[in-house]
């Protein structure tokens, strides 16, 4: 991430103000470097704001596969845009290629990672991954399912740790054909 897109000094000043606001001694040895550490952390975990996921939409040349492809349990970490605390979980992606347009398997994980690394809500994250794949690959169908725990629900507010939120976005044949959707769900649910 370039220094031009992230103002580390501004983040440091903000973190210092937060620490002062909660009554912390910002000059004590264990805390004095925290604003700098937090600034670098936010630059890293929010790099998706400044990097394009489209760069991973490079199809494998000369392929003819036209059956369902499922990649399960892609770990993801994001930041809730409402409270700026993490949510984490897994993404499952299924798609049916059209015209042999398939991606390298790691590209699916990279797309999830890139889109996750920004202040986000899970519903939008799910939709953005599905739309990027649908627009970029033009498959017969795509389905994205995300399961995540939101620390804004676990450690504050309602305080219900272990609560999982599940979101899905389906396009093409996964939306039109319940059997295709059911097949993908059976593969995803299989341990």
Write out the catalytic residue numbers.
Answer: 80-83, 122, 150, 152
Q: In a 10 Å sphere around its CB, with 0-12 CB exposed, 13-18 middle and 19+ buried, how is residue 81 labelled?
A: exposed
Spell out the alpha helix ranges (H) of 95-177: 105-116, 122-137, 151-154, 173-176
Buried b (16+ CB within 10 A) or exposed e, 128-143: bbbebbbebbebbbbb
Contact 143, 170 (CB under 8 A): yes
């Amino acid at each position: 991430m370039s220094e031009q897109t992230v103002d580390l000094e501004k983040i440091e000043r903000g973190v210092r103000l937060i620490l002062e606001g909660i009554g912390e001694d910002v000059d004590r040895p264990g805390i004095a470097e925290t604003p700098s550490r937090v600034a670098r952390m936010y630059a890293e975990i929010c790099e998706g704001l400044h990097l394009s996921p489209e760069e991973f939409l490079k199809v494998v040349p000369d392929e003819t596969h036209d059956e369902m492809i499922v990649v399960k349990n892609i770990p993801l970490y994001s930041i809730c845009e409402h409270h700026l605390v993490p949510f984490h979980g897994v993404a499952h992606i299924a798609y049916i290629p059209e015209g042999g347009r398939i991606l390298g398997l790691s590209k699916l994980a990279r797309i999830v990672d890139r889109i996750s690394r920004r202040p986000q809500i899970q519903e939008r994250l799910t939709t953005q991954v599905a739309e990027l794949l649908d627009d970029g690959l033009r498959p017969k169908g795509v389905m994205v399912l995300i399961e995540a725990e939101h620390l804004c629900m676990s450690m504050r507010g309602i305080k219900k740790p272990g609560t999982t939120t599940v979101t899905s976005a389906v396009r093409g044949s996964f939306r039109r054909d319940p059997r295709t959707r059911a097949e993908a769900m059976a593969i995803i649910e299989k341990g």
